[in-house]
Each structure stands twice: as structure tokens, then as C-alpha cells.
Chain A
């Protein structure tokens, strides 16, 4: 991608913020909660997709940075009295720093080795959250006190929504610019061919390290967002299930596309809520259906739902002579 984000997309960000301010006055807590949850997942998934979809690094450490973001933001607030507006950026920055430290050895690894090493890191982090009683309250879970933003208490869905909408808009806007930059193109080039990337002057290792770092930053921010509308964190929620959920959002929606990731977040976030209407006896099949959806999505939508949508749109736009018809010109030889 290149250039600047289209004005329409930037306007959509404005609309998102507007909705964040208006909806709390219109909807019951339940919808606000689901909305906040979706916005948090959006930040989390956008971050994972930078690594997975844009840079092509199959890394699983994301969930650890998310957990770190939650605990760090909450503990900075509770233990040191550092307000959210400072605490969350600090937490996210430290998450990014850990991401950088992980990336230095991890970028030497490929494919299965990278996937397993980063997964192992995530498991180790979860173990630390569960075992480090004196700081995280361990398996009892941590009750978080409500954060303050410029002296204004947040902690319920109503008050948190505008703040979360602003954070998502900022992160989304940053992503829009990021993918349209030299760095964003370097991510894609590394994903498609490290050889071509290196031969084009891209420092492959540095690019990967940056992708890890930025991705960890997003996860840290998502963790900070969690503290805005939730009041309790437990290590059990920071395990493989949440990771697979975010991964599924990306894959079903369409990895390596912002629209696809958002679509995936929306679909998989709303799906369990929509399933509430299903007959009770069928609920037990959810896990089975979840696996089936994953398999079918991978089989029939290699580019995710977004890929299907884009493909349709493109085909519509391609009424007229197909570009293959352009002939190869035969240049005259120099004498």
C-alpha cells in the first residue's frame, strides 16, 4: 500500500469516535460491553496481524504481551497511583520492549521453530502470572480498581466506551498510515520473500524486530483497554483459548488486510452472542462447530471473508477489457 489513507477511511475513524460518545447514552450495558470487548479485540487482532498477516511471522507470543499490558496498567494504577493516561503508554511501551527482546533471538527462527518458541514464551508468561502471587495475586486473580482519566473515573462500560473508541481510532489510524509507509511495504516484502526484500535493500532482521515490537505495543494497548471496562483479571483468560480466538478472527476475516481483521473481529465477537438464540441442546456443539468453521474457512476462503468481498468488488470493477490484453511493445534495437 502507498500514499495516504483515503479521506473516507479517516472519516470513518471520526465516526467511530462519535459513536463512542453517543452510543453510551442510547444502549443498555450489555451492548456497550460487547462493543467495548469488540474494540479491545480489534486492537489485539490488528497488532497480531501486523506480525502474522503483514510480516508473515507465525508468532504466538501476542497473548503474553496482552496479559502484560493488563497487569502492568492495573498494577501501576493500584500500587503506584500512576493514572491510566500515563500507565497504559508505559505498560504498552514496556510490552514493546519485551517484544523487542524476544524478537532478537526469535527472528533467527523460522516456521515451526518460531511458532513453538513464541508459543512457549506465551505459556511461560501465563505461568508467571499464575505463580507470582505477591504481585499478580496469582491464581486468585487480580481485582482491579477503576482507572482515572483526568480525574474522571472510568470502570463501567458507559464511561469507558468513548475512551476506548478514541484509543481504537488512534490505533486504527496509525495502522492505516503504517501499512502505507516504507516500513509497511517492507513488512509485506519480508512476508512474500526475504530474498527479494534483502536484495531490495530491506534489512530483514531489523524489519522483523520492528514488526515484533510494534505488534507487542498493540497487545500492550489492548491490555490497557481491558482495564478500562473490566474489573478483574485471571491468568486463565490469558491462555491458548484467547490466542486461538484472535487467530480465528484474523483468519476468517482475512489476514493482511485491515478491513478483513475488523470484519473477523466483528463476526467472531458477535457469533457467540448470536448463538444465544440457538436451542439449548445444540450449544454443546459449539466447540465442534468452531473447529468446522475454521476448517471450512481455510478451505474455501484462503483470503478470508474480506478476500471474497474484495474479489467480488474487483470483478465488478473489471467490466471492460481485461488488463491481460495490453500487448508487449517491441522496442527498436539501438543501432
Chain B
């Protein structure tokens, strides 16, 4: 058993509110691992702790056996972890291509900003080529020079994914990639996720409410409720788990 990514006993409190309570989970390399739970269960907090936007009061987070909590926020992506955002947090005033170039930051050489010259030109050209390739893969190339803030909702989500992919992550944290999308778009996301995991071997942790997507792509599902782990297992097992159905799926199970 090879856990690429592990949370061990993580507790995160905001003022009097406990967002995560001694939460542990292990993610296997190459798998798609879904993290589900009702609103406010602490799913995004897991991501925010990994992204180092908040500091857990206790517990540890490991990636590739390396403790993450000692790293600053911007180092996380260099270690191979990329993430997307739940609310469309966008680089509104940057174009689609520029957004992906930002995603490429960790892999762009830190040439001296003011120096014109061949090295700089080559590096920029290479970065743009790569960004365009990623845009082609995510069907955004037609919007290359559109401002990110002017994209429709679905494409903003895609762009967020494209930006995250640009860093060539080994672990991808996706925060509700399908929320608010139409069916047709959901199946597109579905196909991209599967493609990423199976073809490129990227490990994916997925926070999602759209059960249709979770059930079709996830290898393993962890259920969070009020900051604590409620259940964990294969999608079919989770679906059958009465505790989960009671606490969370309840009414939604009927729709799925």
C-alpha cells in the first residue's frame, strides 16, 4: 500500500468553531479519491490546510512522506500539489492564456525581469507554447485572449483546472469542479478527470456534491461530517452505508 498523500490527526479550529477534528485520511497514488459531506463539514478546510492558507492546531500532513506543514504556501505547488477553487476565484483581469502562464510559474525560469535577450525570449516562447497546449486540451484555446472574468461560469471552472494542470502536478486537489455545471459540461469534466488519472497517472482528491460525478469516477470515497470522518470505502460501499445515507445522502441519494 503506497499512500502518496496523508492527513494524520488534523485538527483545525477557527475561533470557537472546530472545522476539522482529528481527521485522518490516506490517498493512494494514481487513484481518484472523493471527499464528500454536507455543507460546512470541513472539506474545503482540508484543502486550505494543504494549501497552507491555514495552520492546523494539531496533526500532520504528508505528501510523498514529506511533512507539508513546514512548507510555505507557494512551495506546495513546487512539491507537486496543485489545486482548484470552489468559488470561482479567478484572475479576473488576466487573459485565459496569462492565467495558464501563471499556473506555469513554478516551471518558468526566474530570469531577470528587466533583461531583454535570447534566454528570456526562448523561455517566454516555450512557456506560451506549453500554455497553448494545455488550453487545447481543455478546449479553451478559442478564448486564448479573453479576460478570465468575462468567461462563462463553466469555462471559468475549466480554466481553473487548466491553471492547476499547468504545474504538472502529481496530486490534484479539485474543489467542486462540477458545481453549477450543466450535464453536458459535467460529462466533459468527468472525461477529463478519468483521462488525467488513468493516462497521466495524476492522483486526484475531489471535493464534490454532484454525486453523479463522484460515483462514476471515484475509486474511493471519504465522508466528512462536522469535521469528523464518518465513513470511507469504495463508492458502492458508501452508497450502501446506512450511516452515510442518513447523515448526508438522504434526500440527495434519490436524485443520484
Contacts and interface: CB of A to CB of B under 8 A. Distances in A.
Please say whether the chains A and B touch (CB closer than 8 A).
yes
A331 B74 contact: no
A178 B52 CA distance: 29
Contacts of B164: 199
A182 to B, nearest CB: 5
A6 interface: no
B154 to A, nearest CB: 7
A324 B152 CA distance: 9
B247 interface: no
B191 A332 contact: yes
Interface string B126-139: 01100000000001
Given A198-B53, A198-B73, A333 B121 contact: no
Given A2-B124, A330-B187, A331-B192, A195 B85 contact: yes
B62 interface: no
B15 interface: no
A3 interface: yes
B164 to A, nearest CB: 8
A263 interface: no
B190 interface: yes
B74 A334 contact: no
B116 interface: yes
Interface string B105-131: 110111101111000110011011000
A282 interface: no
12 contacts: A2-B127, A177-B115, A181-B111, A181-B113, A184-B113, A188-B102, A195-B53, A197-B102, A199-B83, A199-B85, A202-B74, A204-B73
A182 B75 CA distance: 16
A234 interface: no
A328 B154 contact: yes
A197 B167 CA distance: 12
Contacts, number: 140
Contacts of A2: 97-98, 101, 124, 127-128
Contacts of A279: none
Interface in A304-335: 323-324, 326, 328-334
B89 to A, nearest CB: 5
A115 B230 CA distance: 46
Contacts of A332: 191
B255 interface: no
A182 B114 contact: no
B142 A323 contact: yes
Interface residues of B, number: 62
A258 to B, nearest CB: 14
A203 interface: yes
A216 to B, nearest CB: 15
Given A186-B102, A193-B91, 11 more contacts: A1-B98, A3-B125, A4-B124, A178-B114, A183-B113, A188-B98, A192-B94, A199-B76, A199-B85, A200-B105, A334-B195
Given A174-B114, A198-B53, A185 B185 contact: no
Nearest to B107: A201
Interface in B53-72: 53, 72
Interface in A208-258: 256
B105 A3 contact: no
Given A183-B113, A326-B139, A331 B195 contact: yes
Contacts of A198: 51-53, 73-74
A189 interface: yes
A54 B200 CA distance: 36
Contact of A196 (B76, B93, B116, B163): B163
B115 A186 contact: no
Interface in A251-271: 256
Nearest to A186: B105
A180 interface: yes
Nearest to A324: B152
A4 B121 contact: yes
B212 interface: no
A165 to B, nearest CB: 19
A191 interface: yes
A324 B101 CA distance: 22
A204 B72 CA distance: 10
Contacts of B91: 188-189, 192-193, 196
B92 interface: yes
Contacts of A196: 85, 89-91, 102, 160, 163
A177 B114 contact: yes
